[in-house]
Amino acid sequence: MKLLAEISEGTLGISEQYEQLGSEYRLRKSARVILLNKEGKMATQYLKTYNYHKLPGGGIDAGESTEEALKREVKEEVGCDCEIVRSIGMTIEYHNKYKLFHISYCYEAEVIGEIGESALEDGEIEEGHETLWLSPVEVLNKMKSDKPGKPEGYFILKREISFLEEYLGSH
């Protein structure tokens, strides 16, 4: 899978720290999706509490494949099943503040069947997750103008923008 971005506090301009080679980082892997409905609209999660948009997706559990995690997260966050169309790319994040090394894999997928109710986790409810269906270009423009209410939001936006730009550049 193509590496689209390496992100750190340094690359974001938050601090002068880039990845700290030789340091102990905890590994987190996640799956993200550019999920399209039959009208060509794309699902985006708007986090009302922190005022920014992100792609549906989340962490890969132990023993779970990337594809299984993606389908589970879509079911939980968006309330539907999906069929993976193709891979988009991956990003690597170095969160020095949390000693976290985060690899995200992104796929393009299509909604299968009806869209039902989401089953958000408590943290997602607190963040005010709301699924919006917009064109991919609208989502990209919103992400580029978002001003997150928490520092982690800048990592998320950089990652998601990398995925969306790669997707749009291939269409």
Whole-structure pTM value: 0.93
Burial class (CB in 10 A: 0-12, 13-18, 19+), 143: buried
CATH value at residue 30:
3.90.79.10
What local confidence, expressed as pLDDT, does residue 140 receive?
98
Decide: helix, strand or coil at residue 157: helix
Give residue 52's domain range.
3-169
Q: What is the pLDDT of residue 97?
A: 85
pLDDT in tens, the chain (171 residues): 999 999 999 999 988 888 887 889 999 999 999 999 999 999 999 999 999 999 999 999 999 999 999 999 999 999 999 999 999 999 999 998 889 999 999 999 999 999 998 988 898 888 889 999 999 999 999 999 999 998 899 999 999 999 999 999 987
Contact 168, 93 (CB under 8 A): no
Q: What is the pLDDT of residue 56?
A: 97
Domain count, the chain: 1
Mapped onto helix, strand or coil, the DSSP state of residue 123 is: helix
Residue in the structure block whose two tokens are 């005010």: 128
Rounded Cα distance between 144 and 95, Å, is: 21
How far is 110 from 83, CA to CA, in rounded Å? 5
